[in-house]
Amino acid sequence: MDFIFVLLLGLLWGSFANVCIVRLPENKGVISGRSSCPKCKKKISWYDNIPVISYMLLRGKCRICNKEISTQYLIVELLIALFFLIEYFYFGLTLTTVLLFILTLALIIIFFIDLKHFIIPDVVTFPLMIIGFLKSFDPNLNEIFPNYINSLIGGCFGYGIIWGVIFFYKKFKNKEGMGLGDAKLLAVVGFWFGLESVPFVIFLSSVIALLVVLPDLIRKTKKMSTQIPFGPYIIIGNLIYLLFEDKLKFFVI
Model confidence, pTM: 0.91
Q: What is the pLDDT of residue 246?
A: 65
Q: What is the pLDDT of residue 249?
A: 54
State the pLDDT confidence band at 252, using cuts at 50, 70 and 90.
Answer: very low
Rounded to an integer, what distance in angstroms lies between the CA atom of residue 159 and that of residue 152? 11
Rounded to an integer, what distance in angstroms lies between the CA atom of residue 118 and that of residue 228? 7
The dihedral formed by the CA atoms of 240, 241, 243 and 246, expressed in degrees to the nearest 10? 140
Rounded to an integer, what distance in angstroms lies between the CA atom of residue 167 and that of residue 151? 24
Burial 217-236 (b: 16+ CB within 10 A, else e): eeeeeeeeeeebbbbbbbbb
Phi, psi torsion values for 36, nearest 5 degrees: -130, 160
Rounded to an integer, what distance in angstroms lies between the CA atom of residue 155 and that of residue 187? 4
Region 226-238: mean pLDDT is 90
- 8 A C-beta contact, residue 72 and residue 21: yes
Higher-pLDDT residue of 127 and 225 is 127
CA proximity to 185, closest of 105, 141, 122: 122
Secondary structure (DSSP) of 117-167: HS---HHHHHHHHHHHHHGGG-TTS-TTS--HHHHHHHHHHHHHHHHHHHH
| pLDDT per residue as tens digits for the range 129-178 | 999 999 999 988 877 899 999 999 999 999 999 998 888 877 777 666 67
Q: What is the pLDDT of residue 152?
A: 97
| pLDDT per residue as tens digits for the range 100-126 | 999 999 999 999 999 999 999 999 999
Domain ranges of the chain: 1-93, 119-253
Q: Is the pLDDT of residue 98 over 80?
A: yes
Average pLDDT, the chain: 88
